[in-house]
Amino acid sequence: MTGLRAKQKADRNRRILEAAASLFREVGYDSARIEDIAERAEVSVGTFYNYYENKGDILVATVSMEVEEVLESGKAIVENPPPTTLEALQVLIDQYFDHSLVYLSKEMWRTAMATSIQQPESPFSRRYTELDGRLCDQVSMLVQKLQLRGAVMPGIDAVAVGQMVFNNLNMMFLEFVKDEAMTLETLKERVARQNRPLAVLISSPKIQ
Amino acid sequence: MTGLRAKQKADRNRRILEAAASLFREVGYDSARIEDIAERAEVSVGTFYNYYENKGDILVATVSMEVEEVLESGKAIVENPPPTTLEALQVLIDQYFDHSLVYLSKEMWRTAMATSIQQPESPFSRRYTELDGRLCDQVSMLVQKLQLRGAVMPGIDAVAVGQMVFNNLNMMFLEFVKDEAMTLETLKERVARQNRPLAVLISSPKIQ
DNA sequence: CTTAAAAAATGAACTCATTCAATCTTTTTT
DNA sequence: AAAAAAGATTGAATGAGTTCATTTTTTAAG
């Protein structure tokens, strides 16, 4: 078994993904036609559909790569967070937000989110959802870390708090990408305001 | 000015909306073609597009009717909520969830949400966003009411807390509609667990 | 080495959402 | 009441995403 078939498959998959990602960046999601993506990847339109269920799918795949990077960069913060609860949460969240528009436009985010909602059973949507779950876990882990350090009161359900913080920032991010006029700064400020009450309440009195 | 034109317009609008809503319920969103909706409403395809910008738009319009009802039924709870914070939040939220699948299937919710994300500038997406905002306000108002009553500690930012609770339940609802297997009961339990830490922390000690 | 079976690629054909120039209807003006 | 203007309707044409029967390539068996 030489694996020639597997090698060709992986190569085609990479070419299609790269072709799509570059075209999306150049002309935007809507203007990039499957025919164009297929041509740049040097495959036929039919082959494109052998690798991705539909157009939205390949965008979700692109976004997934981006989220992987964000997860990686968040790891460092969770391992060695700032002392106070509010600060620690904010540093992690700002990191997420700052990363979000490096490779992707708001339009691309909108389409990716919409696709992953509309076709939750497609493989790449599952992957996107799974990555979302890992981001959520990362926030929960930060809260747990702070609890171990004594910055967060014992007895608090760190996982529940982490999920709530994550769900909140996720919705705020959604509002952000829906509004072309909103700046990253505005987003950060709003999330900071919303986190403050919870962060203060769960913090140990002596640290506060 | 007889208003004949205005009357015909309102009538056509109603016919299109009813035709679409019934077709969506019968065959699902994707299988309902614009041509079929137009035929049932006894207008041409072109006329459909004079009333709605695109297919997603009319689904969002259907959802809007549903959310208006939910808002209305929530009003009573906000005006006279149960005594404890946790209970009050849960009763309002459960009310929202119980209402959610009366007229709409999970598939319809997914498509509506996806549309409102993907085309945030279209009139009906704006409407959806506005309704979301009103739901969020309703939760905030509940927290404020509880604060006035003394159930929630003074000094807490009721609006920020309300927004966080709403964003959390909204994300949980999104997860719910993405997962055909998840039941309403599971959804309610999960949200209840997530709300507990916050609800306990913001409650006045004597009430708790 | 030949042959059979399995896997993958292909692109013309198909489906539907969307558009728009022509037509018809209602309202306003003279 | 007739003519002009404004407002709406219409459905054939358009175009992009998606499908699928056929062909080609790769692997396994004899």
- pLDDT single digits (tens) A59-102: 988 898 889 999 999 999 999 999 999 999 999 999 999 999 98
Cα separation of A41 and A12, whole Å? 7
A192 has a chain B CB within 8 A of its CB: no
Backbone angles phi, psi at B206, to 5 degrees: -65, -30
Output the average pLDDT for chain A: 92
| A164: nearest Cα among B95, B68, B200, B151 | B200
Residue of A nearest to B170 (CA): A171
Instruction: Give the number of residues written for chain A.
Output: 208
- Cβ proximity of A148 and A141 under 8 Å: no
SS3 string, chain A, reads: CCCHHHHHHHHHHHHHHHHHHHHHHHHCCCCCCHHHHHHHCCCCHHHHHHHCCCHHHHHHHHHHHHHHHHHHHHHHHHHCCCCCHHHHHHHHHHHHHHHHCCCCCHHHHHHHHHHHHHCCCCHHHHHHHHHHHHHHHHHHHHHHHHHHHCCECCCCCHHHHHHHHHHHHHHHHHHHHHCCCCCHHHHHHHHHHHHHHHHHHHECCCCC
Given a cut of 70, is residue B207 above it in pLDDT?
no
Asked whether the beta carbons of residue B171 and residue A172 sit closer than 8 angstroms, the reply is: no
Cα separation of B13 and B11, whole Å? 5
Task: Say which residue the tokens 């809503």 belong to.
Answer: B21
The verdict on A60 and A33 lying in the same domain is no
Cα separation of B100 and B104, whole Å? 7
pLDDT tens string B51-81: 999 998 899 888 988 899 999 999 999 999 9
Given a cut of 80, is residue B124 above it in pLDDT?
no
Nucleotide closest to A2 measured between CA and C1': D27
Asked whether the beta carbons of residue B118 and residue A111 sit closer than 8 angstroms, the reply is: yes
pLDDT tens string B9-38: 999 999 999 999 999 999 999 999 999 999
The verdict on A4 and A90 lying in the same domain is no
CATH number reported for the structural domain that contains residue A166 in this entry? 1.10.357.10
How much of chain B exceeds pLDDT 90, in percent? 83
Q: Residue B196: which of A113, A160, A197 has the nearest Cβ? A: A160
CATH number reported for the structural domain that contains residue A32 in this entry? 1.10.10.60
Confidence band, pLDDT 50/70/90 cuts, at residue A206: low
What residues contact B88, with CB distance under 8 A and at least 6 apart? B77, B81, B82, B142, B146, B151
Q: Residue A160: which of B120, B156, B193 has the nearest Cβ? A: B193
The verdict on B44 and B110 lying in the same domain is no
Q: Decide if B167 is inside a domain.
A: yes
Residue of B nearest to A167 (CA): B168
Given a cut of 50, is residue B105 above it in pLDDT?
yes
The verdict on A138 and A37 lying in the same domain is no
Which of residues 14-43 of A have CB within 7 Å of strand C?
Answer: 43
Given a cut of 60, is residue A1 above it in pLDDT?
no
Confidence band, pLDDT 50/70/90 cuts, at residue B208: very low
The verdict on B46 and B67 lying in the same domain is no
- Cβ proximity of B152 and B85 under 8 Å: yes
The verdict on B104 and B180 lying in the same domain is yes
**Domains: count for chain A:** 2
What residues contact A128, with CB distance under 8 A and at least 6 apart? A60, A63, A64, A67, A112, A116
pLDDT tens string A123-166: 888 999 999 999 999 999 999 999 999 999 999 999 999 999 99
Q: Looking at residue B2, what is its pLDDT?
A: 59
Q: Looking at residue B60, what is its pLDDT?
A: 86
- The spacing between the Cα labelled CA in A33 and the C1' in D11, in angstroms, equals 27
Q: Decide if A83 is inside a domain.
A: yes
Copy the structure tokens of residue A102. Answer: 């490096």
Confidence band, pLDDT 50/70/90 cuts, at residue B204: confident
A197 has a chain B CB within 8 A of its CB: yes
Give the structural domain span for B110. 56-202
Q: Decide if A148 is inside a domain.
A: yes
Cα separation of A114 and B77, whole Å? 32
Would you tell me how many other CB atoms lie within 10 Å of the CB of residue B186? 12
pLDDT tens string A155-198: 999 999 999 999 999 999 999 999 999 999 999 999 999 999 99
- Cβ proximity of B189 and B169 under 8 Å: no
Confidence band, pLDDT 50/70/90 cuts, at residue A2: low
Q: Residue A156: which of B113, B164, B197 has the nearest Cβ? A: B197
Given a cut of 80, is residue B206 above it in pLDDT?
no
- Cβ proximity of A126 and A115 under 8 Å: no
Alpha helices in B52-157 (DSSP H): 55-79, 85-100, 106-118, 123-149
How much of chain B exceeds pLDDT 70, in percent? 98
Q: Decide if B78 is inside a domain.
A: yes
Asked whether the beta carbons of residue B164 and residue A194 sit closer than 8 angstroms, the reply is: yes
Q: Looking at residue B122, what is its pLDDT?
A: 81
Residue of B nearest to A163 (CA): B194
Q: Decide if B208 is inside a domain.
A: no
Out of B10, B29, B51, pick the residue that ends a domain: B51
Q: Decide if A110 is inside a domain.
A: yes
